[in-house]
Amino acid sequence: MNKLCIFGGTTVFGYAGWFVGELLGFDFFGCFLLSGLGSILGVWLGWKLAQKLAE
C-alpha cells in the first residue's frame, strides 16, 4: 500500500506541477523543475496517506 500511495502522489502532483508551469508560461526547464517539486511533494503526501491508512 505504501508504494501505491507514493506512486499515485508522485504521478498526480508531478503532473500538477507541470500544468501550473505551463499556465504561468514557463519554458521546458521551468516546467521540469516545478514537476520535480510536485513529485517530491507527492512522495511525502503519499507516504503520509499510507501511514494514515495503515492505522
Residue in 31, 28, 35, 29 with CA at minimum distance from that of residue 12: 35
Residue in 4, 1, 10 with CA at minimum distance from that of residue 45: 10
Give the per-residue pLDDT at 44.
97
> pTM higher than 0.85, yes or no?
yes
Instruction: Give the Cα separation of 39 and 14 in Å (integer).
Output: 4
- Of the two residues 42 and 55, the one the predictor is more confident about is 42
First to last CA, the chain: 12
Host H or E run for residue 52: helix 28-54
Instruction: Write the pLDDT tens digit of every residue in 5-50.
Output: 999 999 999 999 999 999 999 999 999 999 999 999 999 999 999 9
